[in-house]
Amino acid sequence: MERYREIIPDWASFWEALERPLPIVIRTNTLRIEPQTLKRRLEAKGFDLQPLSWDGTCFLVHGETPVGNTLEHWLGYYYVQEASQLLPVKALGPKPGERILDLCASPGGKTTQCAQYMEDQGVLIANDNSAKRIQALLANVYRLGIKCVVVTEAAGENFPGPGNFDRVLVDAPCSGEGVARKFPHLRCGASLGTVSRLSTLQQRLLVRALELVRPGGAVVYSTCTLAPEENEEVVKHVLDQGLAELVPWEPPVPHDRGLSRFGEKVYGPELQGAVRIYPHHFDSEGGFIAVLRRPR
């Protein structure tokens, strides 16, 4: 992690955040229950719920019982979802009746969040390249009662078909440095070999996503890592090829802008339109989000 000292403001707060346990956040499945009704039901079971200031369908939860061990959870009334992981779908902005592709969908948190934004109307393709991970994806789609989802198994970089989706989400496999609060071994940072290997895959995924979205359509690229090689460098790859335009996005939470350079690598001022989240910004995991538009 030391190589990020120059790019992370308030380095001491960053490290302090890494040593704290993550808060527990749940997202109400508004297709099945209203947020206030869910709040009353869980509070009757002894939980304390505080709504997130920037999303009234989500709650910060405290309780002695694991929040996944309730009848309401098994009924699909909510999904346990870390706060920063709510942001990519907010950036994507799915709407009812649209054609949406979640290219790397398992275990389904963002897929089911997309379905809520779509009011379960339209077509939502949830793809993953692993039959094992698809089991978890299907379980969550079924548990939350989503009907507009079609689950597919394909390598995302080779996903078949023409470019006719309105929006595509690429929540890319990554080195995971942003989740070091959950997995302490990541506090040492990922190896540069791993970062380089994943960056190549991520570039292929993002190129394919931009081929699959219609002209003028939106692609959101997100990771849960801090490595510029997996973030800004991947986005610069498609910008340099003229495959996309970067659309500046302002999230409803504290954040930093994307990097225009890192060390000797220059990404350009347009990359400041992307978003970096660090764990100390609002007591969450870390990550990266870029909103792209395919040229008409």
Read off the CATH number of the domain in which 207 is found.
3.40.50.150
Same domain, 29 and 47: yes
Whether 63 and 187 map to the same domain: the answer is no
Instruction: Examine the domain organization and report whether 54 and 138 are in the same domain.
Output: no
pLDDT at 129: 96
User: Could you give the angle at the alpha carbon of 184 between the alpha carbons of 252 and 65, nearest 5°?
Assistant: 70
* 25 bridge partner residues: 60
In this structure, are 135 and 273 located in the same domain? yes
**Stated pTM of the model:** 0.97
d(CA 155, CA 127): 8
- Strands (DSSP E) found in 33-172: 48-52, 55-62, 78-80, 99-102, 123-128, 149-153, 165-171
**Do 75 and 94 belong to one domain?**
no
Helix/strand/coil for 87? helix
Dist CA 62 CA 222 (whole Å): 28
pLDDT for 162: 86
**Would you state the pLDDT for residue 84?**
97
- One domain, residues 159 and 73: no
Q: In whole angstroms, give the CA distance from residue 138 to residue 141.
A: 5
- Cα–Cα–Cα angle for 34, 35, 37, rounded to 5 degrees: 65
β-pair partners for 158: none
User: Are 53 and 144 in a shared domain?
Assistant: no
Residue 57 maps to which CATH number? 3.30.70.1170
173 and 184 part of one domain: yes
What is the rounded CA–CA span in Å between residue 84 and residue 76? 21
Torsion over CA of 239, 201, 112 and 284, rounded to 10 degrees? -80
The last residue of a domain, from among 81, 101, 126: 81
How far the first Cα of the chain sits from its last, in Å, is 40
232 lies in which domain range? 2-18+84-293
207 and 255 share one domain = yes
Residues 36 and 50 in one domain: yes
- The per-residue pLDDT of the chain, averaged, comes to 97
Residue 163: its pLDDT value, please? 80
Are 46 and 63 within one domain?
Answer: yes
Among 50, 81, 112, which residue terminates a domain? 81
Do 144 and 285 share a structural domain?
yes
Kindly give the parts of the chain with pLDDT less than 50: none
Cite the active site residues.
224
72: β partners: none
Nearby residues of 277 by Cβ (< 8 Å), 6 or more positions away: 84, 87, 178, 251, 253, 255, 256, 284, 285, 286, 287, 288, 289
Domains identified in the chain, total number: 2
Distance CA 90, CA 93 (A): 5
- SS3 breakdown of the chain: % helix, strand, coil, rounded to 5? 35, 25, 40
How far is residue 202 from each of residues 159, 171, 240, 274, measured CA to CA in Å?
Answer: 14, 10, 15, 16
Task: Give the distance, in angstroms, between the CA of residue 262 and the centroid of all CA atoms in the same chain.
Answer: 23
Task: Provide φ and ψ at 145, rounded to 5°.
Answer: 70, 35
Tell me what pLDDT residue 40 has.
98
The identity of residue 105, as a single letter, is A
Phi and psi at 83, nearest 5°, equal -60, -45
Sequential DSSP letters for 120-155: T-SEEEEEES-HHHHHHHHHHHHHTT--SEEEEE--
